[in-house]
Amino acid sequence: MLKRLHRLIPLWLTLAFTGASAIAVAGNVCSTADRGDSYVFAVSWQAAFCETHQTKPECQQPSEWASSNFTLHGLWPNLGQCGTHYGYCSSQPQQKNFCDYPEPAISQPTMDKLKQVMPSAAAGTCLQRHEWFKHGTCQTEWNADGYFDVAVGLTHQFNDSGVGPFMAANRSLDIPTQDLFEVIDQGLGQGAHKRMKFICNRGQLVDIYMNLPGQIPPGASLATLLQQAKEGFSSNCGASFRVDMMGR
């Protein structure tokens, strides 16, 4: 019996250290740039976001554009094996306060465009800094200007597909969730909503996360990108949701 235990102990130790090593390697991969196999494009309905973030400066005096369009949350390189933990691919230390990050090298023209679609950037609460150091650094195809230019362009494409006007026209109303799905499919291609995650809170639509492929060519159509992406639908919104209106 003792001899058998002696034979088993080295094997157990080998497996234990191998497992720890695998975890370390996986953790390294999950913070190594250019390993992404897809992107997630995230937008928010600002009025619903502000219901639970009322003290944020961007919720105090929202612009008319932010009140009637989906705003940019982020464009996130994604690596399937890392789940939601692919990020922070630079040596910059993580910060709880977004404004403690240094400002990325964003030109003034790009920053002006970003301020329209990302209220935090306009209000000075620095979401763009967090988005760059957590997500933007995990790709090297674009510098900060290029990365945010792409994200801004996708935000406008999403709203201009008919989704923005549909939501604006239904502010303060309860609408069937299926109606939104149909508007998305009409503007962005059949089955486009099946590549999206819809997140509601307190009966209000707050965020939409969209699956995109791992390559986004210059000037790419959001509709084309969605058709190229893997399906991955989920929604916690139920049969209907309320379109929140600023100040209501």
Q: What are the tens digits of pLDDT across the range 108-127? A: 999 999 999 999 999 999 99
pLDDT over threshold 50, residue 31: yes
Q: 105-111: long-range contacts at Cβ-Cβ below 8 A with a sequence spacing of 24 or more?
A: 105/143, 105/144, 105/145, 106/144, 106/145, 106/148, 107/145, 110/144, 110/145, 110/148, 110/149, 110/152
- Give the residue-averaged pLDDT of 158-178: 98
38-45 and 70-78 beta bridge pairing: antiparallel
Asked if residue 8 has pLDDT above 70, the reply is no
Q: What is the token pair recorded at 115? A: 């301020």
Tell me the per-residue pLDDT of 52-109, one tens digit each, with 9 for 90 and over: 998 999 998 889 999 999 999 999 999 999 988 999 999 999 999 999 999 999 999 9
pTM: 0.88
Contact indicator for 109, 48 with CB cutoff of 8 Å: no
Q: Within 136-233, where are the H helices?
A: 144-158, 164-169, 177-188, 222-228
What confidence score (pLDDT) does residue 235 get?
A: 98
